[in-house]
Structure 1
Amino acid sequence: MRRIVMALMMAATPAAAMDYGAGVPGDEVGRLIRAAMEEAGQAVPDFADPARAFPPCGSVPEVLPRQGSWSTAEVRCDGPVWSRAVRTGAVTGGAAMAEPTDDAGEGPMAVVLARSVARGAVLTAEDVTLAPVGTRGPDGIFTDPAEVIGRRTKTALGLGKPVLLRQLEPVWMVARGNPVVLAASAGGLAVSAPAEALDDGALGDVIRVLNKSSGREVKAVVTGRNSVMAQTNMR
C-alpha cells in the first residue's frame, strides 16, 4: 500500500517542480505536449518523443499548436529564448498550414516565418519560429532565431518559408553618416583621426570616409564597429 501511495505522489508532482537547467529530456517534452493537447481538448495521437533533449530552460516550456494546428506542436522557452517544432500527426478541424513534404522531417531545424512580413520589415521574435527544412534545404538558412531578430528584410517573405541570408540586409559595422575612427599606419607609426562614413560597410568592405581633420575624402577598410583603416595605396 505504501508503494502505491508513493507512486501516486510522484506522478502528481507538478511540472513546475522539475529543474530544466540542464535541458528538457525528450520524454519530458513529449509529456508536456500531450498534457497541453489534453488540456485543449485535442485527441492525442501516438507520436514519438524527441530523440534528443531540448536546450535548458529557466521555467516550464510553453506548448502551443503551430499556426493553430496541433499536427505540429511548438515548444517555446522564454529564458533563454528558443523554439522547437515537434510533429504529432494530430488531425484538427479547419485549415492548417501544409506540412513539409519529401524528406523534411530528416533535415535540420531552421528559422522559418511564423507569419508573412513585408519588404523592409525588421524581424521580431514573433515573426519567426523553428521547423525542419529537409536534407535538401536551400543554402543560407539560419538555425538560431537570434541570428535574424532585429535584421531588416530585402523583400516580402511568406508564411512558413525559411529565412535565407540573401533575403536580409547586411549587418553593417559602419553606417553612412555615422562618426568613425580612421586609423592609419606608416613607418611603424600608428595614428587615428575622427572621420565620417560616406558609405555603409560590413567587416572587410572598402568604403569612403571623410577625414574631419584634413577635410579629405579617403578610402578605408572596415576593421570593426565604427572603425576603419586607411589604405595609402587606394585611390
Structure 2
Amino acid sequence: MNRHFFLLSTLLLALWALPAAASDWQDPDSIRDAAEGFVQAQMGDNGQVRARAGNVDQRLRLRRCEQGLETFLPSGRELGGSNTTVGVRCPGPVQWRLFVSVETEVLAPVVVANGVLQRGQVLGPEDISLQERNTGSLRREFFTSPDEVVGMRLRRNLSPGSVIQANHLDIQRLVERGQRVRLLARGESVEVSMAGEALQNGARGQRIRVRNLSSGKELEGVVSGEGTVKIRF
C-alpha cells in the first residue's frame, strides 16, 4: 500500500514538473493584436489610423486566456498623440494583465506648400496642395482645405512640402467675441441658418464656441467667413 502510494505520488510530481505545451501559453502576437485593435477601434473616425504595438517580451509565460482578452485604457490615460499605453488582461480563470505601448499615426490630407514660399507672400491656389500627413505629430493647428488659407499672407518663409499651420499666417479675425453671427447648420441634405453670438474671437478655419440665440445652447463651429460660423449636425 505504501509502495503504491509512493509510486503514484512520484508520478504526479513528475507530471506536474513537466513544462507546459506551447499551446498552454498566450501567444505574444495575440496580445499585440489586441492592443492595436483597441486603438484602431477607438480612433477609427479620425482619418486613416495606423497602430503599431511595441514588442511583448517573448520570455513572458502567461497562461492562455480561455475567456478572451480584454483591453482597456489605464487610469489617467487618454488616446491621442503619437504614443499611448493600452492595458491587456485575462479575466480568468487564470487572471493576469500587462501594459503595451502603441504608436499611432492618424493619416489625413492637410494643406502643404507646393514650393518655396516667401514671407509676406499672399497664398494663391497654385502655391498649395493637399498631401497626406500624420496629424498626430502636428502640434499646432493645421488646415484640411485649401480654401481656408487662399488669400492669407505668410509670416515666415516655408520650404516645399511644409505643412501650413496657423502660426505661419497673418490671420485676420473674421469674428469677434460678443459679435452677433450667422450660424449655418448643415446636414446631408439640408442647411439651416440661425442667429448666434460668438463666445470667442476667430479667424477663417478656426473652431470657436458660439451661442444659439434662439435656444441659448452653446455649440462649437468653424469660422467660414466674415460673421459666419458653420455648425455640423
Same fold (TM > 0.5): no
Structure number with the higher strand fraction is 2
Q: Which has the larger radius of gyration?
A: 2
- Give the alignment's TM-score, normalised by structure 2: 0.30
More relative contact order, 1 or 2 (CA 8 Å, 6+ apart): 2
